[in-house]
Amino acid sequence: MKAAIINQYGDSNELSVVDDYVNPTITDDQILIKTYATSVNPIDYKARQGALKCMFNWQFPVVLGWDIAGIVVEIGDDVTDFTVGDRVFARPDMDDTGAFGSYATLMAVNADKVALMPETMSFAEAAALPLAGETALQMLNELHVTAGSKVLIQAGAGGVGIVAIQLAKALGATVATTASPENAAFVQQLGADVVIDYHQKAITDVISQYDAVLDSVGDIDAGLAVLAHGGRIVTISAKPTSEQLAAAAANNQTLLAGWLQPNGQDLAKLAAYYQNDALKIVIDAKFPFTTAGVRAAHERIESHHARGKIVIEMVAE
């Protein structure tokens, strides 16, 4: 099969698409997916740079990628919820060896991480949703966001922020977000009620007494400062310090470090939001599954100028 590999940690030039990579094999509880599209997330380029070395004992060559959309071509003996030919998407489990990520034309995925794609959803849209979408959904659950909640969602034009704003509005919350001036109208269209230009104003100058904060930029201190007594904050980009945890406890605030737990049930919920027109999937750019295309996709996300998700297409639609 074709796969994009790295043979050592480094910059985007380490990525190369090869035609003769070994095919994955499935276990009884897995399905084999022919990949039509995958997407690029910040964790991808951080892993490529070597930032995850402390978490995984990968052996080169490594295939990156944690989003997949495609068609089922084989099912394990214990799989009952899917059949060959199904259009599916998933955020697969991380491969401890690093050998089988989603930057490949075939991928073996545990069936409990997979959901059926809505008929109207394209493969590019489906590939753009799993990691960012499940993160947004699960973090809003951790924050106990409900109708009437006031929630700050940092980086509203980012992959997680785009989904989180829409889901929070669907739940009936009031949403504040941070965005650059060029993205202000965009996040308002997603549903943001308050848009803070972080270049011009501190968050604490604009909002206060919020029930919940989703921190995706590592600004825990500002999140705590705008949080009401008894509020909740979850960070997906920083490790809370002992001082921050103590400050939160003193104000009866809950400070959590969030980590995605992929599962097919949450993907099915996201699919339902999409089908009910409560969730729009925003794609910044699509790149072909070539060495140049994969490298360009990584360079695009590392620019920090993407609005929405970056997709790599194995099969163009």
Residue 317 pLDDT greater than 80, yes or no: no
Q: Provide the H-helix boundaries in the chain.
A: 42-49, 123-128, 130-142, 159-170, 184-190, 220-225, 242-250, 264-275, 291-302
Predicted confidence band at 247 (pLDDT cuts at 50, 70, 90)?
Answer: very high
How high does pLDDT run on average in the chain? 96
Residue 128 main-chain phi, psi, to 5 deg? -80, -15
Residue 42 pLDDT greater than 90, yes or no: yes
Q: What is the structure's pLDDT at 150?
A: 98
Predicted confidence band at 242 (pLDDT cuts at 50, 70, 90)?
Answer: very high
As beta bridge partners, residue 38 has 312
Of the candidates 317, 284, 309, which has an alpha carbon nearest to the alpha carbon of residue 133?
309
Residue 316 pLDDT greater than 90, yes or no: no
Residue 238 pLDDT greater than 80, yes or no: yes
As beta bridge partners, residue 234 has 214, 256
pLDDT, tens only, 54-98: 888 899 999 999 999 999 999 999 999 999 999 999 999 988 899
Q: pTM of the predicted model, to two decimals? A: 0.96
pLDDT, tens only, 15-35: 999 999 999 999 999 999 999
Predicted confidence band at 292 (pLDDT cuts at 50, 70, 90)?
Answer: very high
**How many residues would you count in the chain?**
317
Q: What is the structure's pLDDT at 52?
A: 85
Our CA angle for 144, 146, 149, nearest 5°, is 90
Q: What is the structure's pLDDT at 40?
A: 97
pLDDT, tens only, 103-152: 999 999 999 999 999 999 999 999 999 999 999 999 999 999 999 999 99
Q: What is the structure's pLDDT at 23?
A: 97
* Percentage of residues of the chain with pLDDT beyond 90: 94
* Percentage of residues of the chain with pLDDT beyond 70: 100
pLDDT, tens only, 163-188: 999 999 999 999 999 999 999 999 99
Q: What is the structure's pLDDT at 294?
A: 98
Among 46-55, 140-149, 270-279, the minimum mean pLDDT is found in: 46-55
* Sign of the alpha-carbon dihedral angle for 21, 298, 57, 32: negative
Q: What is the structure's pLDDT at 132?
A: 97
Here the tokens at position 93 are 């489990």
Residue 90 main-chain phi, psi, to 5 deg? -165, 155
